[in-house]
Amino acid sequence: MPKGYWVSAYRTISDPEKLAAYSRLAGPAVQAGGGRFLARGGRVVAHDAGIAERTVLIEFDSFEQAVAAHGSAAYQEALAALSDGVERDFRIVEGID
């Protein structure tokens, strides 16, 4: 069964306090949903049309698990805390089996 991944690239961070509140809630919510952080805001080298921006990569045992974790009450609470504090490109992608 292919794994699932959350890929999030932060275009702008307009409110670091909202991002911090989100992070405090999102970390436990992701882990409760079976997610494992593979990359979280470390160094980025961008190529082609890419932009060197904060990037987060989270792995789940399946695509379905990744989708379910995003819909969980705990993660939705984290999103409410984040509100308009950032502009980001968030995707849930299916890995290769």
Query: From CA 60, how far away is CA 96, in angstroms rounded?
Result: 13
CATH number at 22 reads 3.30.70.100
The pLDDT of residue 48 is 95
pLDDT at 41: 85
Return averaged pLDDT per consecutive 10 residues of the chain, 97 residues in all: 96 96 98 97 91 95 98 98 96 96
> Given its phi and psi angles, is residue 50 left (phi above 0), alpha (psi -120 to 50 degrees) or beta?
beta
State how far the Cα of 22 lies from the Cα of 37, in Å rounded to an integer: 15
Based on the structure, what is the number of domains in the chain?
Answer: 1
Q: Which domain holds residue 62?
A: 4-94
Q: Which 8-state DSSP code applies to residue 61?
A: S
